[in-house]
A and B are shown apart, each in its own frame.
Chain A
């Protein structure tokens, strides 16, 4: 890197051949045409999508509102919503990619239509997106929205940092999207093992996109973890002791602790790989003292806790959902807390199970195999506690509950196959086969995704003030459930038949029938996603009939249900005082819910800050410059980042005040609505009659 190079090549490695149609136009063979159209088509969708969104915003004159009410907002609720929007967009992309891969494999006997390189990008982006840009933003979004409400706080401890975390995550997601249009993504899978991802074997920009996307998002997530943990330690309402926190908040706490300790090894691993690729270091190369085994250890030191980062919040959601829709207190609260903590701690002791086949001694493998199985104990406990919660309750089969029940049944199978894989002697056979693919989807889809979707249906009325359409929700849930089974149960058999994962094509006809079944399952999952989309549309259309402004559509148990839907910007007009676990259920029981406080005071809230979008934008451009070796751009962005941080240091006017009179007025309006709402029994829960006020006592809860 010298001045001359910067002048000679101001765009670094960027050239015409970085564009998606280029290869197809230069060498118009049939294969190149098909792959060019698919890749180029996808690129067009991205570009057109961005253009259309921008045009719509301009047409409706919403740029200013977007900037001042959303992008720069430090409100945890808005940040939560934006996280979930990112997650849903990325979910759509990753599911489409999954269907494409399944189609390729269904016709993959002896070839298929996708080029191997194209297929490799598909599984790499699919995996990377599903983990880092679907599941993570989704759960962070849900925690962001719900957790401060559950603990009776006004916001998270560091609201602007929260916005910066979102900016970094969005920048990283954007980087993955851009790789669709300019250049190509990594082919090294979601864990990007070297030495395959070293320059000696993959000199193109793919692994660089992967490295910087992961680096940006891992930094963002570490900050999020710190933010959440501090919030839970410091911002709880008076009386909200740790053992009175709702279980979802407990899982949020454990997940945050895991984020703090598990993300840095990933940041270090990707940074070391970057040093190898950019500056000729030898951390993970074959030669000159490099050792790729170190990467695997670092990656999975992150990677295994990561799967619990993903699943613990979903366990929390299921706990809330099962208790609420069984009309009963959560059974075995203390056991569930203990189980959650146990899982969090144990999750750091099992990473070697991702490479039992790396040649370490039988003693080591056996110890890590047994350690892995130990996690089955607290997980099993949870399942029994949820079942005990239904015992002598009154179970209502709403959409979230259907997800929860489907989850328990399917997750048992996923857990069992996990324990099978924890036997090193069996893992030697099925490691790296589609049996493993079936296993981790069996925990990721019913476990993580269904949980988040259950949470989406559960809290949507709280967030937007109206309920989602039940019928389309149910159709979608059933499509997810059966689609999942069709798509992934065949893979267990295929894995036992020796089919390796990441196979673009195969040459033994024995594999094809089950591949076709799996493809049909993937199609059904596509329908599920479509149904979810239709549900959104229908629900928005009928929003006025389904309003639940009073705020408690499901006869909820924790504090987020104790405020209006949507909640005011400051969450609580006066901070609640908590005397009980299940604070809101207790308040309703003792008739002290919906109180008019004696006195209102001014509420101080953080003022908007541009730090989130600015740092996110600079991070994105800097990463892009790094990927393409556009050094001047990197330097400019680095200086810009530094400047932004310094300028922010001088900002003194960081607080805004909501006057007591406004709070009083808004609260009065809400109490009025509550007064005029009809208290409904659970039977009318899904009717327009539900205005968000629940009839109390056994009568309301049982028939």
Chain B
């Protein structure tokens, strides 16, 4: 199983034609951003593409093809005015045909059922990706209309960009500070909803360095179409350097920064509000407490969005926040 996840299988000829057409469509646009799982940058997306191809070929050959051949043939051969073929206006019962008509679809669905069972478990977003040391922990919080990515082990956070090292699995926890949202990075993995007061999970991995499209797919208001980010996969050393850069050049996530963050607005508007935290159109934040994520979950759940003071860094000069365990950190598995 895992071997399939690791590497996309070499496609066969017919499949190659199909997938290359799709690939053309999904191509890497001028901007150099991977848009689609048809051009996968990681094992999950690659397996999803393979799964799609299997299903499309199966259904194409056994469902669409016979009907697309038979129907025009029937309409032509038995057209009104045709002289030769038999006309049997009362022929309406023929057991062998009835049996075939039911057996065909049943057989196809049985095969598909096995595929569903297998892939749904293999590609379960909650399932950690094959062992590779400790996965990179990321916590994503949906705001209107941007995602905050917290790296709890590094103590940093970003908006507008999700940097990850290649080959290291990423374990993501998601919640929303506002309405329902859905996080999707097509070239890396599928989507999962983020909901207020609840925590969902997503596991993904990049195998090649590159930039992939990341987005929210669940409509959440006027700025919805701006809620994009870049998933930036880079070699591990570069990632370490990137973390250092964020630490060095970001601003502390204090109450003021948090207020700007949680206001309704796009990434661009946040950049305008926090110019010192901005780098190439993204926001870098430092001194981010590992307790922020569970605190946001709890605050959203209890309806006290202002009760976050204890996990935000105090204004310059005061000591860093005390990390406090909250109830929310123990509800990882809800829903």
Q: Which of A604-642 contact B (CB under 8 A)?
A: none
**A471–B197 alpha-carbon span in the complex (Å):** 60
Interface size for A (C-beta < 8 A) is: 101
Which of chain B's residues 77-101 have a Cβ closer than 8 Å to chain A? 78-83, 85-94, 97-98, 101
A116–B219 alpha-carbon span in the complex (Å):
11
With a CB–CB cut-off of 8 A, which chain A residues contact B37?
Answer: 429, 496
Binds B, one of A35-43, A375-383, A524-532: A375-383
Residues of B within 8 A of A682 (CB): 80
Whose C-beta in chain B lies nearest to the C-beta of A431?
B191
Does the CB pair B71–A698 fall under 8 Å? Answer: no
Interface stretch, picked from A308-316, A506-514, A663-671, is A506-514
Say yes or no: is B17 at the interface (Cβ < 8 Å to chain A): no
Q: Given that A420-B52, A423-B116, A507-B228 are contacting pairs, would A293 and B74 also be in contact in the complex, using a CB cutoff of 8 Å?
A: no
Flag B94-122 by CB within 8 Å of A: 1 or 0 each. 10011001101110110011011101111
Q: How far is the CB of B227 from chain A (nearest CB, A)?
A: 9
Given A422-B116, A431-B217, are A394 and B80 neighbors across the interface (CB < 8 Å)?
yes
User: Within the complex, which residue of B89, B98, B222, B228 is in contact with A329, where a contact is CB–CB below 8 Å?
Assistant: B89
Scan A365-388; emit 1 where CB is below 8 A from any B CB, else 0. 110011001101111110111011
Q: Closest residue of chain B to A503, judged by CB?
A: B225
Kindly report which residue of chain B lies nearest to residue A338, judged by CB atoms: B102
**Are B74 and A502 in contact (CB-based, < 8 A)?**
no
A25 at the binding interface (Cβ < 8 Å): no
Q: In A174-204, which residues have CB < 8 Å from any B CB?
A: 187-189, 193, 195-196, 201
Q: Are B192 and A357 in contact (CB under 8 A)?
A: yes
Partner of A433, one of B33, B115, B126, B217: B217
Question: In the assembled complex, which residues on chain B have CB atoms less than 8 Å from the CB atom of A502?
Answer: 219, 224
Chain A residues, Cβ within 8 Å of B165: none
CA distance A358 to B25 in the complex (A): 29
- In the bound complex, what is the Cα–Cα distance between A159 and B221 (angstroms)? 44
Q: Is the CB of B218 within 8 A of A359?
A: no
B107 CB, min distance to chain A CBs, angstroms? 10
Does B22 sit within 8 A of A, measured CB to CB? Answer: yes
Q: How far is the CA of A188 from the CA of B221 in the complex (A)?
A: 8
Nearest Cβ in chain B — how far from A121, in angstroms?
Answer: 12
Complex alpha-carbon distance, A416 and B52, angstroms: 12
- Given contacts A293-B195, A358-B193, A419 and B55 within 8 Å (CB-CB): yes
A373 touches B92 (CB 8 A): no
A497-B36 contact in complex given A409-B67, A701-B89, C-beta closer than 8 Å? yes
> What CA separation (Å) do A366 and B113 show in the bound complex?
9
Given contacts A419-B55, A423-B116, contact A332 B98 (CB under 8 A): yes
> Which chain B residues lie closer than 8 Å to A158 at the CB level?
none
The answer to whether B197 touches A287 (Cβ under 8 A) is yes
Of A193, A392, A507, which contacts B78 at CB under 8 A? A392
Any A CB within 8 A of the CB of B201: yes
* Inter-chain contact B80/A396, CB cutoff 8 Å: yes
Taking the closest CB of chain B, its distance from the CB of A323, in whole angstroms, is: 9
Contact of A509 among B29, B90, B180, B192 (CB under 8 A): B29
Nearest CB of A to B143, in Å = 12
- The answer to whether B87 touches A701, judged by C-beta atoms less than 8 angstroms apart, is yes
Q: Contacting A331 at CB < 8 Å: which of B48, B81, B92, B116? A: B92
Report Cα–Cα, A416/B105, bound state, in Å. 12
**Given A365-B120, A377-B102, A505-B225, A420:B78 Cβ within 8 A:** no
Q: Which listed residue, B27, B35, B109, touches A374 by the CB 8 Å rule?
A: B109
Of A196, A412, A413, A698, which one neighbours B180 at CB under 8 angstroms? A196
Whether the Cβ atoms of B113 and A370 lie closer than 8 Å is yes
A328 within 8 A of B: yes
Q: Is the CB of A116 within 8 A of B223?
A: yes
Stretch of B130-138, B300-308, B312-320 at the chain-chain interface: B300-308
User: Does chain A have a CB within 8 A of B60?
Assistant: yes
Q: Quick one: closest B residue to A432, CB to CB?
A: B217
A508 touches B29 (CB 8 A): yes
Question: Smallest distance from the beta carbon of B89 to chain A beta carbons, Å?
Answer: 5
A391 and B35 contact, Cβ closer than 8 Å, known pairs A292-B195, A384-B104? no
Which residues from A are CB-within-8-Å of B180?
A: 193, 195-196, 292
For A500, list chain B residues within 8 Å (CB): 184, 215-217, 219, 224-225
**Do B101 and A288 touch across chains, with their CB atoms under 8 A apart?**
no
How many angstroms between the C-alpha atoms of A373 and B58 in the bound complex?
A: 14
Q: Does A493 sit at the interface, judged by CB under 8 A?
A: yes
- Residue B160 lies at the interface, judged by CB distance under 8 Å to chain A: no
* Contact partners of B184 in chain A: CB under 8 A: 429, 432, 498, 500
Cβ contact of B91, chosen from A329, A425, A433, cutoff 8 A:
A329
Interface centre among A357, A412, A429 (most CB of B within 10 A): A429
Given A201-B221, A425-B123, A416:B64 Cβ within 8 A = yes
- Which A residues lie within 8 Å of B277 (CB)? none
Q: How far apart are B144's CB and chain A's nearest CB, in angstroms?
A: 8
CB-based nearest B residue for A331: B92
Per the bound structure, the CA–CA distance linking A698 and B213 in Å amounts to: 64
CA of A293 to CA of B37 in the docked complex: distance in angstroms?
28
Cβ contact within 8 Å between A423 and B219: no
Interface size class of B (residues with CB under 8 A): 35 or more
On whether the beta carbons of A390 and B122 are closer than 8 Å, the reply is no
User: What secondary structure prevails in chain A residues at the interface with B?
Assistant: helix
Q: Is residue B16 within 8 Å, beta carbon to beta carbon, of the partner chain? A: no
| B43 at the binding interface (Cβ < 8 Å) | no
Pair B48/A429 contact, Cβ less than 8 Å:
yes
Whether B52 lies near A377 (C-beta < 8 A) is no
Q: Mark A345-374, 1 if CB is under 8 A from B, else 0.
A: 000000000010111111101100110011
CA distance A201 to B38 in the complex (A): 36
Contact A377:B81 (CB < 8 A) given known A393-B87, A429-B190:
no
A117 at the binding interface (Cβ < 8 Å): yes
B68 and A409: CB pair below 8 A? yes
Q: How far is the CB of A408 from chain B (nearest CB, A)?
A: 6
Q: Is the CB of B81 within 8 A of A703?
A: yes
B75 at the interface (CB under 8 A from A): yes
Chain A hits for B120, CB < 8 A: 362, 365-366, 369, 423-425
Taking CB atoms, residues of chain A closer than 8 Å to B115 are: 423
Question: How many angstroms between the C-alpha atoms of A632 and B88 in the bound complex?
Answer: 68
Q: Is the CB of B71 within 8 A of A408?
A: yes
- The CA-CA distance from A381 to B104 in the complex, in Å, is 9
Contact residues in B for A298 (Cβ distance below 8 Å) = none
A395-B31 contact, Cβ under 8 Å, with A287-B301, A287-B302: no
Q: Which residue of B lies closest to A510 (CB)?
A: B29
**A369 and chain B: residue at smallest CB distance:** B116
B63 at the interface (CB under 8 A from A): yes
How far is B25's CA from A501's CA once the two chains are assembled, in angstroms? 18
A271 and B244 CA atoms in complex are apart in Å by: 53
Question: Does B127 make an interface contact (CB < 8 A)?
Answer: yes
**5 additional contacts (CB under 8 A) given A374-B109, A428-B191, A701-B87:** A416-B56, A420-B56, A428-B125, A497-B25, A498-B35
Closest 4 CB pairs of A and B: A428-B190, A287-B303, A286-B196, A432-B217
Chain A residues proximal to chain B, CB less than 8 Å: 115-117, 120, 187-189, 193, 195-196, 201, 285-288, 292-293, 326-333, 335, 355, 357-363, 365-366, 369-370, 373-374, 376-381, 383-385, 387-397, 405, 408-409, 412-413, 415-416, 419-420, 422-429, 431-433, 493, 496-498, 500-510, 682-683, 698, 701-703
B: which residues have CB within 8 A of A? 22, 25-27, 29-31, 33, 35-38, 45, 47-48, 51-52, 55-56, 59-60, 63-64, 67-68, 70-71, 74-75, 78-83, 85-94, 97-98, 101-102, 104-106, 108-109, 112-113, 115-117, 119-127, 176, 178-180, 182, 184, 186, 189-193, 195-198, 200-201, 213, 215-225, 228, 300-304, 335
20 CB-based A-B contacts, threshold 8 Å: A120-B219, A187-B221, A193-B180, A329-B91, A361-B124, A363-B121, A366-B117, A369-B116, A373-B116, A383-B67, A394-B79, A423-B51, A423-B55, A424-B119, A425-B47, A425-B116, A428-B191, A496-B38, A497-B25, A498-B186
